[in-house]
Structure 1
Amino acid sequence: MKMPKGFLFDFDGVVVNSFESHHAAWASAFYELFKKDIPPFPLQMAGKSPMKIANYYCSTINREENTEKLYYLKDLHLDKNFTIPKLLPGILEITTFLRKENIPFGIASNATKQFLKNSVTALNLNFTKVFGVEDYKHPKPAPEAYITLAKALGFTAEDFKKLWVFEDSLTGITAAKSAGMNPIGILTQYSKEALLNAGSSLVFPTVLEAYHYLLKN
C-alpha cells in the first residue's frame, strides 16, 4: 500500500472525546432559554452541524423559531465553561509521524472554530490547519468541509482519491465520500458494519490502530 498523500481529521470522536462538554453546554443553554431539561441526544444527529442540532432540540418542544438563539447561546456556554476534552489514542503518534515525514494533515469539523482552537491549544496538538463550521456555507454531510481543508493543504481535485479522512459519524463519512476521498471509519459510536455500509474504506477502533496499520503496510 502506498502512503496516502494527506490525512484529514474530523475532531469530535476522532481526535477527542468531547461529548460531555458539548452536551453540558447544550443542556445549560436549553434550560436558560426555555426553563426546561433538555431531551436525550439522538444518535442520528451525531456529526450534524450545531445549527441543525439546535433546530432539533427546539423542535422537540415546538419552538423552532428559537433555533438561532439556542445555537448562539450554546456557543457562549461552551466557551465560557470550556473544559479540556479527552484526547483519543493515536493522535499524538500519527501527527508526530506525519509532521516528520512532511505529509500534510489538518482538521475539518462541524464544531465551532473557537472550540477547536481552544482544544488544540489546551492539548498542545500538532494541528496548524483547523476549519470549523463557520468556514463553510454547507457543513457536513456536504463535501465542502473536506474540500476546503484539502485545498488549504495544497491539494488539487486530482489528489483527493489519495487522501485519507478519519471519521466516526455517518454524516462525516458521507461528506468524505462525496468529496471523492477515502473515508476511514473510527469506532467511537457506530458499528463496523454501519461505517462500512456508509462508505468507509477501512475501519479501526481508534486512530492508533490506523497508525499501526500504516506503519506495517
Structure 2
Amino acid sequence: MIVQKGFLFDFDGVVVDSAHSHYAAWSSAFKELFNQEIAPFPKSHIGKTPMLIAAYFCSVIGQEHKSNELYLLKEKHLDIYFNVPKLLPGIHEITQFLSKEKIPYGIASNATKQFLKNSIHHLNINFTTVFGVEDYIKPKPAPEAYIMLANALGFKKEDFKDIWIFEDSLTGTKAAKLAGMIPIGITTQYNEDELKEAGSILVFRNVLEAYKYLKNK
C-alpha cells in the first residue's frame, strides 16, 4: 500500500541523462564567446543553477564579468542545437502507475523551462506540472522549487512530510530536506553514502528500482 501522498522529481540525472546535452551547449557557446575550449564540468556544480555554472566556467579564464553573456548564449545553443537527452529507466512505469493511482506528481528543476519542455515533448513522457529555474526567486538548494511544485499539485504544508522527492544531486537533496519532504536519492552522480549523508532517506540506482520497491510495499 502506498502511503506517500505525492512524488516530486528533479529532472537532470533522475528523469533523463542530459549531461551531454548541457555540456555540448556550454562548449559551443564558450567557443563562440571566447574562441577557446571550455574546462571540464566540475562535479561540485552538479545540480546548481545555469548562472552559477556560467560563472564557474568564466572564472577559469578570468572572465567573470562575462558570466551572464555566457549563460544567455548557452541557453540559446541548448534550444537551437537541441540534443535530445537519454530517458532513464523507470520513468514510463512510474508515471503510468502514479496516474492510475491518482497520486499527484511533477517536476521541479534548476534547468530552464524551455529545455524541460523540449525534452518532455521529444521523449513523449507524461509530466504536465513542470517548473524550471526561471520560476523561482531562490532556486535549489533553497526549498522554494519543491514548495512551489507541491502547492501547485494541491498539497498543504501538513502534507509535505508524506511527499517523496527523487534527487540525484546534493544541491537538490538539501532543497528537499529544507522543504520538509522526504529526499530519495538516485545514484546517477553520487554514491549511496554521499546521498544519505546529505539527507536521503532511501537510495536507489534509478527510478525503476524505486518503482519496484513501491509496487512491492
Normalising by structure 2, we get a TM-score of: 0.99
Structure 2 partner of 1:26:
26
Shift of 1:83: 1.6
Shift of 1:36: 1.2
- Opposite residue 126 of structure 1, the aligned amino acid is N
Q: Percent identity of the aligned residues?
A: 66
Determine the structure 2 residue equivalent to 1:183: 183
- Where does structure 2 lack aligned partners over 5 or more consecutive residues? none
1:145 aligns with 2:169: no
Question: Which amino acid counterpart does residue 97 of structure 2 have in structure 1?
Answer: F
Gaps of 5+ in 1: none
Which residue does the alignment assign to 2:101? 101
Which residues of 2 match residues 11-160 of structure 1 at below 5 A? 11-160=11-160
Name the CA distance, whole Å, in 2 between partners of 1:53 and 1:144: 20
Does the aligned pair in 1 maintain the 2:2–2:214 contact within 8 Å? no
Tell me, yes or no, if the aligned pair for 2:107 and 2:131 is still in contact at 8 Å: yes
Offset of residue 2 of structure 1: 4.4
**Alpha-carbon displacement from aligned partner over 1:126-170 (angstroms, at most 9, x marks no partner):** 100000000001110010110110000000111111000000000
Q: Which amino acid aligns with 2:54?
A: A
Alignment size in residue pairs: 217
Q: Is the 8 A contact 2:169 2:190 kept in 1?
A: yes
Distance in 2, matches of 1:39 and 1:3, equals 45
* 2:51 partner letter: M
Paired residue secondary structure (2:183): strand
Cα distance in 2 for partners of 1:142, 1:36 equals 34
Q: Which residue type is aligned with residue 43 of structure 1?
A: K
Residue 210 (structure 1) shift: 0.3
Amino acid paired to 2:118: N
SS of the aligned residue for 2:7 comes to strand
TM-score under structure 1 length normalisation: 0.99
CA RMSD of aligned residues (A): 0.7
**How many angstroms does 1:25 deviate by?**
0.2
1:3–1:214 contact (8 Å) kept in structure 2: no
Query: Hey, what's the Cα distance between the residues in 1 that align with 2:111 and 2:153?
Result: 20
Q: Which 4+ stretches in 1 moved above 3 angstroms?
A: none
1:170 paired with 2:159, answer no
Q: Helix, strand or coil: the match of 2:164?
A: strand
Would the aligned equivalents of 1:5 and 1:163 in 2 still touch at CA under 8 Å?
A: yes
